[in-house]
Amino acid sequence: MREVALVGLVIAVVAGSLILVVGSFGVLVEGLVQWHRNNRSSPVTSPATLVAKHQEGSDPRPLGTLYYLTFRFDSGDEVETLVAESVWRRLTVGDRGRLTLRGTRYWAFDRSTGHPGPR
């Protein structure tokens, strides 16, 4: 009876490990596909307004803090994008300008004159 329980436990551990490996591989492949699409995309520039900023994590997290900006286009659609800390600190909610994306990747944001934001 103990042998049957042990075999069941081993099968459960192996199955769980396999699910974890397959799931991780799927996430990795999805990320690589998006990276490839972004690299093949031409930059697209549209008028937009910065409507939100947030950050996730904090040091001493292995990857540090992640910085996000949310922009709203004139159409009302919004996009949230990961940016470098220097970009995140330079921009202020309410800044209006021309947002350039390359696929889903942030490329640049040129503020309109008249709203300089903090330097």
Q: Please report, in tens digits, the pLDDT of each residue of the chain (119 residues total).
A: 666 666 666 566 566 666 665 565 555 656 565 666 666 778 889 999 999 999 988 666 566 889 999 999 999 999 999 999 999 999 999 999 999 999 888 999 999 855 444 44
- Locate the DSSP E strands across 5-95: 43-56, 66-73, 78-83
In a domain, 118, yes or no: no
In a domain, 35, yes or no: yes
Q: What's residue 119's pLDDT? A: 40
The whole domain housing 58 covers 42-111
Same domain, 52 and 34: no
In a domain, 60, yes or no: yes
pTM above 0.75, yes or no: no
* R_g over Cα of the chain: 22
Same domain, 52 and 28: no
Same domain, 59 and 12: no
Number of domains in the chain: 2
Same domain, 58 and 81: yes
Compute CA 43 distance to the chain's CA centroid, rounded to the nearest angstrom.
18
Same domain, 48 and 1: no
Q: How many CA atoms lie within 13 A of 42 on its CB side?
A: 2
